[in-house]
Protein backbone atom coordinates (compact mmCIF):
# COMPACT_ATOMS: atom_id res chain seq x y z
CA UNK A 1 0.00 0.00 0.00
CA UNK A 2 1.31 3.43 -0.87
CA UNK A 3 0.78 6.76 0.87
CA UNK A 4 1.23 10.24 -0.63
CA UNK A 5 3.82 12.38 1.21
CA UNK A 6 3.98 16.18 1.45
CA UNK A 7 6.65 18.09 3.42
CA UNK A 8 6.22 21.84 3.96
CA UNK A 9 8.75 24.26 5.47
CA UNK A 10 7.03 26.65 7.90
CA UNK A 11 8.06 29.92 9.54
CA UNK A 12 6.07 29.39 12.78
CA UNK A 13 5.78 25.75 13.83
CA UNK A 14 3.27 26.29 16.66
CA UNK A 15 0.90 28.39 14.52
CA UNK A 16 1.20 25.86 11.71
CA UNK A 17 0.49 22.93 14.04
CA UNK A 18 -2.65 24.71 15.27
CA UNK A 19 -3.78 25.34 11.69
CA UNK A 20 -3.16 21.81 10.40
CA UNK A 21 -4.60 20.26 13.55
CA UNK A 22 -7.79 22.21 12.84
CA UNK A 23 -7.74 21.35 9.13
CA UNK A 24 -7.16 17.61 9.68
CA UNK A 25 -9.27 17.32 12.85
CA UNK A 26 -6.52 15.59 14.84
CA UNK A 27 -3.22 16.20 16.59
CA UNK A 28 0.04 15.26 14.86
CA UNK A 29 1.15 11.64 15.26
CA UNK A 30 4.79 12.79 15.64
CA UNK A 31 5.73 15.99 17.43
CA UNK A 32 9.28 17.30 17.89
CA UNK A 33 10.59 20.81 18.72
CA UNK A 34 11.19 21.53 15.00
CA UNK A 35 8.91 19.02 13.27
CA UNK A 36 5.40 17.57 13.20
CA UNK A 37 3.81 14.82 11.11
CA UNK A 38 0.27 13.61 10.52
CA UNK A 39 -0.23 10.06 9.20
CA UNK A 40 -3.74 10.43 7.81
CA UNK A 41 -5.91 7.63 6.46
CA UNK A 42 -8.53 9.85 4.83
CA UNK A 43 -6.99 11.13 2.66
CA UNK A 44 -4.15 8.60 2.88
CA UNK A 45 -1.24 11.02 3.26
CA UNK A 46 1.95 11.48 5.29
CA UNK A 47 1.91 15.25 5.84
CA UNK A 48 4.98 16.76 7.54
CA UNK A 49 6.02 20.28 8.48
CA UNK A 50 9.33 21.51 9.83
CA UNK A 51 10.90 24.73 11.01
CA UNK A 52 14.56 24.30 10.11
CA UNK A 53 15.57 27.72 8.78
CA UNK A 54 14.54 27.11 5.18
CA UNK A 55 12.24 29.36 3.18
CA UNK A 56 8.57 28.64 3.99
CA UNK A 57 6.70 26.67 1.36
CA UNK A 58 6.72 23.28 -0.29
CA UNK A 59 9.91 21.34 0.46
CA UNK A 60 9.19 18.12 -1.43
CA UNK A 61 6.53 15.57 -2.37
CA UNK A 62 6.82 11.85 -2.12
CA UNK A 63 5.45 8.34 -2.14
CA UNK A 64 5.79 6.24 1.00
CA UNK A 65 5.58 2.48 0.61
CA UNK A 66 5.22 -0.32 3.15
CA UNK A 67 7.16 -3.13 1.44
CA UNK A 68 10.75 -3.26 0.17
CA UNK A 69 9.45 -4.73 -3.11
CA UNK A 70 7.27 -1.65 -3.71
CA UNK A 71 10.26 0.65 -3.24
CA UNK A 72 12.39 -1.53 -5.51
CA UNK A 73 9.73 -1.24 -8.26
CA UNK A 74 9.67 2.55 -7.99
CA UNK A 75 13.49 2.66 -7.92
CA UNK A 76 13.66 0.44 -11.02
CA UNK A 77 11.23 2.70 -12.92
CA UNK A 78 13.20 5.81 -11.94
CA UNK A 79 16.52 4.15 -12.81
CA UNK A 80 15.19 3.03 -16.22
CA UNK A 81 14.32 6.67 -16.92
CA UNK A 82 17.71 7.83 -15.60
CA UNK A 83 15.80 9.86 -12.99
CA UNK A 84 17.43 8.75 -9.71
CA UNK A 85 19.38 11.70 -8.33
CA UNK A 86 20.24 10.05 -5.01
CA UNK A 87 19.64 6.58 -3.56
CA UNK A 88 19.94 6.16 0.22
CA UNK A 89 19.91 3.02 2.34
CA UNK A 90 19.25 3.12 6.09
CA UNK A 91 19.51 6.91 6.24
CA UNK A 92 18.27 9.05 9.12
CA UNK A 93 16.11 12.02 8.20
CA UNK A 94 13.02 13.65 9.71
CA UNK A 95 13.15 11.55 12.90
CA UNK A 96 12.97 8.30 10.92
CA UNK A 97 15.29 5.70 9.46
CA UNK A 98 14.49 4.84 5.86
CA UNK A 99 15.57 3.63 2.45
CA UNK A 100 14.79 6.10 -0.31
CA UNK A 101 15.21 7.32 -3.84
CA UNK A 102 15.30 11.05 -4.59
CA UNK A 103 14.34 12.33 -8.01
CA UNK A 104 13.37 15.64 -9.56
CA UNK A 105 10.60 16.45 -12.01
CA UNK A 106 11.23 18.64 -15.09
CA UNK A 107 10.26 21.78 -13.11
CA UNK A 108 12.78 21.05 -10.36
CA UNK A 109 10.24 19.74 -7.82
CA UNK A 110 11.94 17.19 -5.58
CA UNK A 111 10.28 13.77 -5.04
CA UNK A 112 11.18 11.32 -2.27
CA UNK A 113 10.16 7.68 -2.74
CA UNK A 114 10.79 5.89 0.54
CA UNK A 115 10.17 3.04 2.96
CA UNK A 116 10.37 3.82 6.67
CA UNK A 117 12.38 1.35 8.73
CA UNK A 118 11.57 2.85 12.14
CA UNK A 119 11.74 5.94 14.28
CA UNK A 120 14.95 7.85 15.02
CA UNK A 121 15.76 10.05 18.00
CA UNK A 122 17.18 12.87 15.87
CA UNK A 123 16.24 14.76 12.71
CA UNK A 124 19.54 13.73 11.06
CA UNK A 125 22.05 10.94 11.47
CA UNK A 126 24.19 11.52 14.60
CA UNK A 127 27.35 11.82 12.47
CA UNK A 128 25.80 14.71 10.55
CA UNK A 129 24.88 16.55 13.74
CA UNK A 130 28.48 16.22 14.98
CA UNK A 131 30.06 17.36 11.72
CA UNK A 132 27.65 20.23 11.21
CA UNK A 133 26.25 18.73 8.01
CA UNK A 134 22.75 19.80 8.97
CA UNK A 135 20.75 17.95 6.33
CA UNK A 136 19.35 14.52 5.63
CA UNK A 137 21.37 11.74 4.09
CA UNK A 138 25.03 10.91 3.73
CA UNK A 139 27.61 13.07 2.00
CA UNK A 140 26.48 13.22 -1.60
CA UNK A 141 28.06 13.62 -5.00
CA UNK A 142 28.21 16.84 -6.96
CA UNK A 143 24.86 15.97 -8.59
CA UNK A 144 23.13 16.15 -5.23
CA UNK A 145 22.87 18.75 -2.51
CA UNK A 146 23.95 18.46 1.14
CA UNK A 147 20.28 18.72 2.22
CA UNK A 148 17.47 16.25 1.94
CA UNK A 149 17.45 14.99 -1.62
CA UNK A 150 19.20 16.08 -4.78
CA UNK A 151 20.26 19.54 -5.82
CA UNK A 152 17.92 21.27 -8.20
CA UNK A 153 18.91 21.80 -11.81
CA UNK A 154 18.08 25.49 -11.48
CA UNK A 155 20.57 27.81 -9.77
CA UNK A 156 23.42 25.90 -8.14
CA UNK A 157 22.15 26.16 -4.59
CA UNK A 158 24.22 24.65 -1.79
CA UNK A 159 21.05 23.02 -0.45
CA UNK A 160 17.46 22.16 -1.23
CA UNK A 161 15.74 24.24 -3.89
CA UNK A 162 16.82 27.19 -5.98
CA UNK A 163 19.39 29.57 -4.48
CA UNK A 164 17.68 32.00 -2.08
CA UNK A 165 20.61 32.69 0.21
CA UNK A 166 22.22 30.42 2.74
CA UNK A 167 21.41 30.43 6.43
CA UNK A 168 23.87 29.88 9.29
CA UNK A 169 23.05 26.16 9.23
CA UNK A 170 24.21 25.87 5.60
CA UNK A 171 20.69 25.38 4.30
CA UNK A 172 18.64 27.66 2.12
CA UNK A 173 17.27 30.71 3.85
**What are the backbone angles phi and psi of residue 89, rounded to the nearest 5°?**
-120, 130
Q: What is the pLDDT of residue 148?
A: 57
Map residue 83 onto helix, strand or coil.
coil
Q: What is the DSSP letter of 152?
A: P
Which residue ranges form the domains of the chain, and what is each CATH number? 2-124 (3.10.180.10)
Please spell the DSSP secondary structure of 5-68, one letter per residue.
EEEEE-S-HHHHHHHHHHHHTS--SEEETTEEEEEEETTEEEEEEE-SSSPSEEEEEEEEESSH
Question: Do strands 30-32 and 110-119 pair parallel, antiparallel, or not at all (unpaired)?
Answer: unpaired
**pLDDT of 71-111, one tens digit each?**
999 999 999 989 999 999 999 999 999 999 999 988 788 99
Quick check: 143 and 150 in contact, CB under 8 A?
yes
Q: What is the mean pLDDT of residues 127-141?
A: 43
Q: What is the mean pLDDT of residues 127-144?
A: 41
**What are the backbone angles phi and psi of residue 26, rounded to the nearest 5°?**
-160, 160
Map residue 85 onto helix, strand or coil.
coil
Cα–chain center distance at 115: 12
Distance CA 173, CA 167 (A): 5
Q: Confidence class of residue 127 from pLDDT cuts 50, 70 and 90?
A: low
Mean pLDDT, all residues of the chain: 79
Total Cβ atoms within 10 A of residue 168: 8
**pLDDT of 46-61, one tens digit each?**
999 999 999 999 999 9
Distance CA 29, CA 41 (A): 12
Q: Confidence class of residue 150 from pLDDT cuts 50, 70 and 90?
A: low
Task: Name the β-bridge partners of 32.
Answer: 35
Give the pTM: 0.70
Amino acid sequence: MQRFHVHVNVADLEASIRYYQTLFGCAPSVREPDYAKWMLDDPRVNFAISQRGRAPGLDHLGIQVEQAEELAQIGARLAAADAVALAEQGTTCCYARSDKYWSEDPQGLRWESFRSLGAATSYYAPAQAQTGDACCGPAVTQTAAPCCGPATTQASAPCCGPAKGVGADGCCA
